[in-house]
Amino acid sequence: MKTNLTLAGCSALTLACTLTSTVALAEEKQGPYAGADLGIALTGDTALREFPGAGRGHHVEFDPGVRLSLGGGWSFCEWFRAGGEFGIIGHNIKGADATFSEIPFMAVAEFRLPNKSPIVPFIGGGPGFAISVISLDDDNLGGGDFVDGSASDAVFAWQVYGGLRYKIDDHMSVGLVYKYFEAEAPTWDVRRTSQDIRFGRTHTHAISASFSIDF
């Protein structure tokens, strides 16, 4: 009986030491982080739901563009961190002297897979909103009337992403990230007409190089 009690006591002590070590390691990994990524953005065609003087059934096509994201937050442990990011997604509109941009403001939750190698896989995502901006230089879409100027609209948006980071040291890493971003349909008011400019929902795929630092 004494032997069993001794073994049980040793097992409990070993478990307590293991848990203490795990908590200490997690605390060492806590702290603020910041990051950025820059790359190519591909936004699919979207419906041209309304344009002054234009008929129905037209679509808007976008040239390949660029996405820049800046973000930061708090690392809660080695495998999870949360925060936010903002940036810009910019495109020229095909067949017109016009540009379309989205400025995302997103909440971010990210899960990482720690391992013994310097390469760390990660996935993440979150909801937010985007400011959708259209700018036309005395041009039209869908064969409609000529419009000149810029306008903006705020819409709901969300994204998911994933990729790989290479740890340069305990604080800095570089990597490659894929992001899928979706924003609701924007509407822009046009002066001196009863018609608005309305697009359908937008879907953007972006592949970017990234940099991250843990403080």
Under-70 pLDDT residues of the chain: 1-28
Radius of gyration of the CA atoms of the chain, in A = 24
Q: pLDDT value at position 192?
A: 87
Q: pLDDT value at position 26?
A: 44
Q: pLDDT value at position 128?
A: 98
Q: pLDDT value at position 1?
A: 41
pTM: 0.85
Which strands sit side by side in the sheet containing 46-50, from one edge to the other?
A: 58-60, 46-50, 196-199, 187-189
Q: What angle do CA 206, 163, 200 make, to 5 degrees?
A: 30
Q: pLDDT value at position 29?
A: 73
Beta bridge partners of 123: 111, 162
Q: Which fold has domain 31-214?
A: Porin (2.40.160)
CA distance 113 to 69: 22
Residues 109-150: pLDDT tens digits? 999 998 999 999 999 999 999 999 999 999 999 999 999 999
How do the domains of the chain map onto residue ranges? 31-214
Q: pLDDT value at position 2?
A: 42
CA distance 22 to 85: 30
Helix (H) or strand (E) holding 121: strand 119-139
Residues 96-106: pLDDT tens digits? 999 999 999 99
